[in-house]
Amino acid sequence: MSSTMKGTTIAVAACVIVVAAAARVASAQGVAGTNRSIQAQPTTSSALAAVLTRSCGDCHSNTMVSRWFTKVPPFSTIMAHGAREGRKAVDFSEWTGYTPDQQRAFLISSCATATAGTMPTKAYLKFRGDARLSREDVETICSASRLSGASTAAAATRPAEKVP
């Protein structure tokens, strides 16, 4: 194979990889129905909306913000997979599609994982340090879980000292 043909083959392969990665990210982003999101609900505090958008939105909603790691393979593939899996767990952009009991359960679970320091994941925080939850952020999430009518279940998930 000539060097010109090798160069062309490599260029075509690189283009295919970039296009495939972009398609994966686009499918991971989905289409946001802004009036269905938890942030758009009148009972959601502006503090909770801000925390969820900043720290949870890329993986747990259809609103992934396009950053360098969402465009460059293999990071883009990893992010697309993480977003699909995250939305399977809870999709804050489709909040009104859940029953009130499901919404309470998701808020309780969000409080528990935020308190334990398991969300956002450590791997994600390497790319998005600004997504790290403060004590105040965790309390905002846990307060929402208590206000959702789940006070007895949420009492067991109050913020612990593990949160930085």
Q: State percent of the chain over pLDDT 90.
A: 55
Q: Could you read off the pLDDT of 28-60 as tens digits, one per residue?
A: 444 445 699 999 999 999 999 999 999 999 999
Angle between helices 75-89 and 3-29 (to 10 degrees): 20
pTM of structure: 0.70
Statement: residue 102 has pLDDT above 50: yes
Q: Which pLDDT band holds residue 127 (cuts at 50, 70, 90)? A: confident
- Cα 22 from Cα 109, distance rounded (Å): 32
Predicted confidence band of residue 131 (pLDDT cuts 50, 70, 90): very high
- Confidence (pLDDT) at 6: 60
Residue 14: per-residue pLDDT? 41
The stretch 20-34 carries a mean pLDDT of 45
pLDDT at 1: 61
Q: What is the pLDDT of residue 162?
A: 46
In whole angstroms, how far apart are CA 117 and each of 44, 57, 63, 159, 160?
A: 23, 17, 23, 10, 10
pLDDT at 121: 92
End-to-end alpha carbon distance in the chain: 57
Verify cis geometry, omega within 30 degrees of 0, for the bond prior to 120: yes
Residue ranges covered by each domain of the chain: 3-157
